[in-house]
Amino acid sequence: DEADRMLDVGFRPQIQRIARACGTKRQTALYTATLTKGVRELAQSILQDPVNIGLAEPDTIPETIQHNLVFCDSHEHKLEVLDLMLTKSNMRQAL
């Protein structure tokens, strides 16, 4: 999982060494939410006939997602805004 993060922290040599040690008769799966150039290059170096399964177009945001930004100037103001958001809005999820 998160193949891009494994590359970011420098695990490419270890991944390639493990793949070589396992031989060619193996099943390997790489999972990542962001298919970077580095992940594509790693896949080419350790996979045979890789299959890419994409779940969404890159840089797309579903129309049902709404983004809001509220600046709060104090802790009390933040609590008031949070209370309003939770009690007066019809949102089902928040992050």
Q: What is the mean pLDDT of the chain?
A: 82
Q: What is the domain range of residue 18?
A: 3-46
Taking residues 35-43, report their average pLDDT: 82
Q: What is the pTM (predicted TM-score) of this model?
A: 0.46
**What is the gyration radius of the CA atoms in the chain, in angstroms?**
21
23 in a domain, yes or no? Answer: yes
Reference 27, options 53, 46, 11; nearest CA is 46
Q: Are 37 and 7 in contact (CB under 8 A)?
A: no
Is 42 within a domain? yes
Is residue 93 pLDDT above 80, yes or no? no
The string of DSSP letters for 27-93 reads ------SS--HHHHHHHHHH-SS-----SS-TT---TT--------SSHHHHHHHHHHHHHH---S-
15 found inside a domain: yes
Does residue 57 register a pLDDT over 70?
no
Residue 47 DSSP label: -
Considering only residues 62 and 79, tell me which one the structure prediction assigns the higher pLDDT. 79
Q: Is the pLDDT of residue 92 over 80?
A: no
pLDDT at residue 95 is higher than 90: no
Flag whether 12 is in a domain: yes
Instruction: Tell me 10's DSSP state.
Output: T
The answer to the question of residue 25 being in a domain is yes
41 found inside a domain: yes
The tally of domains found in the chain comes to: 1
Q: Is residue 55 part of a domain?
A: no
| pLDDT surpassing 90 at residue 55 | no
| pLDDT(25) > 90 | no
Q: Note whether residue 63 is domain-resident.
A: no
